[in-house]
Amino acid sequence: MTSMEKRLQKELQALTKDPPAGVIVNTESVSQNMSEWIVDLYGAPGSLYDGEKFQLSFKFSPRYPFDSPQVMFIGPNIPVHPHVYSNGHICLSILTDDWSPALSVTSVCLSIVSMLSSCQEKKRPPDNAIYVKTCSKNPKKTRWFYHDDTV
Amino acid sequence: MGNCLKAQSADDISLLRGSETQDGNDQALGPPPPYQERVAPRAPIYYPSPNVSRPANLLTEDEQVKIAKRLGLIVHLPCGVYDGCSKKGKECAICMCDFVMGESLRFLPCMHTYHKDCIDDWLMRSFTCPSCMEPVDAALLTSYETS
């Protein structure tokens, strides 16, 4: 087993045994070599997304955890949020520049839940239309500018 | 500027240093290897930043300096062997495995401890502590000033 598989195996175990509120990993979606996962995410109670269900796709390179995972929303319900594009791409610094190998699937999910929870008004990013038309399929290829620390 | 990160080639000085580096000594005693036209050696891959990988021969000058600095600084970070003492923490946050007696560890100035191999791999990409994001070089300098 590679070091990436070993670590993801541990993460999967921890996440299925002791999942944080609103985060459920879809164990059937986990591919044989661990490199692709789907995680169900539930909007936190009391937030604008209360009762909504979302799906996150995780893709890991063989260099994980040194390389950040590729994380995006997929499926029929993409949260309407100032940092989430309608194609599922998420503008969140820990997914690229501020990634650290001490972060994990769990901590990424919790960051996203908290990002959703602190939202005051459901709206798309101002540049959604142009971004969605011109971006790469892989959100990690986007040169993100992180400017908004409020949500 | 000279290429300080040149890929290892057959006339590398490290081959002269003797037994410390490898246990392939018995090999060295055998007959000389047959003559080979030298093919371009595969350059090692470096990571100027975590999401950028480049073979050594394609690094920009700035990136070469950055990597050379990291190589130089890593050597000054204290190492040790896990002796079962729990105040050094007992799990490596990078591989998420528990430390096992006798494993090589590296201690960062911020007091976070990792497997030597795990953290060295990361420090070659980013000179920050994965757990507290503290820049390791700044902390290393302060630790020199105070001691």
Answer whether residue B13 shows pLDDT above 60: no
What does residue A3 show for φ and ψ, rounded to 5 degrees? -65, -30
- pLDDT computed for residue A146 by the predictor: 74
Question: Distance (Å) from the C-alpha of residue B24 to the closest C-alpha of chain A?
Answer: 26
Taking CB atoms and an 8 Å cutoff, what residues of chain B touch A10?
96-97
> For chain A, what is the mean pLDDT?
93
- Count Cβ atoms within 10 A of the Cβ of residue A87 and give its class: 0-12 exposed, 13-18 middle, 19 or more buried: middle
| pLDDT for B86 | 63
Chain B residues with CB within 8 Å of chain A CB: 47, 50-51, 93-97, 118, 121-122, 125, 128, 130-131, 133
Instruction: Answer yes or no: are the C-beta atoms of B112 and B93 closer than 8 Å.
Output: yes
What percent of chain A is modeled with pLDDT above 70? 97
Homologous superfamily of B44-146 in CATH? Zinc/RING finger domain, C3HC4 (zinc finger) (3.30.40.10)
Is the distance from CB of B131 to CB of B114 less than 8 angstroms?
A: no
Helix or strand (DSSP H, E) at A16: helix A3-17
| A91 labelled catalytic | yes
pLDDT, residue B123, reads 95
- The band of B89, judged by pLDDT with boundaries at 50, 70 and 90, is confident
pLDDT at A131: 92
Q: How many CB pairs under 8 A join A and B?
A: 38
What local confidence, expressed as pLDDT, does residue B50 receive?
A: 84
Q: Given this model, what pLDDT does residue B137 score?
A: 84
Q: pLDDT tens across A46-84, in order?
A: 999 999 999 999 999 999 999 999 999 999 999 999 999
Would you place residue B81 in the very low, low, confident or very high pLDDT band (cuts 50, 70, 90)? very high
| Touching B: A residues 41-80, CB under 8 Å | 65-68
Per-residue pLDDT averaged across A110-138, rounded? 93
pLDDT at residue A116, as a whole number: 96
Q: Which of B45, B46, B47, B51 to mutate to test the interface with A (most CBs of A within 10 A)?
A: B51
Q: Test B51 with A140 for CB contact under 8 angstroms.
A: yes
Task: State mean pLDDT over B116-127.
Answer: 95
Separation of alpha carbons A74 and A62, rounded Å: 22
Three-state SS annotation for B77-126: CCEEECCCCHHHCCECCCCCCECCCCCEEEECCCCCEEEHHHHHHHHCCC
Min Cα separation B138/chain A (Å): 18
Q: What is the mean pLDDT of chain B?
A: 79
Write the pLDDT tens digit of every residue in B16-70: 454 444 444 555 567 766 676 666 667 889 999 888 889 999 999 999 999 999 9
The structural domains of chain B, with segments of one domain joined by +, span 44-146
Residue A120, pLDDT > 70, answer: yes
Contacting residues of A for B45, CB less than 8 Å apart = none
Residue B143 burial class via C-beta count within 10 angstroms: exposed 0-12, middle 13-18, buried 19 and up: middle
Can you list the pairs that B81-86 forms with residues at least 24 positions away whose Cβ atoms lie under 8 Å?
A: B81/B105
What average pLDDT score do residues B119-129 get?
95
What domains, with CATH codes, occur in chain A?
3-136 (3.10.110.10)
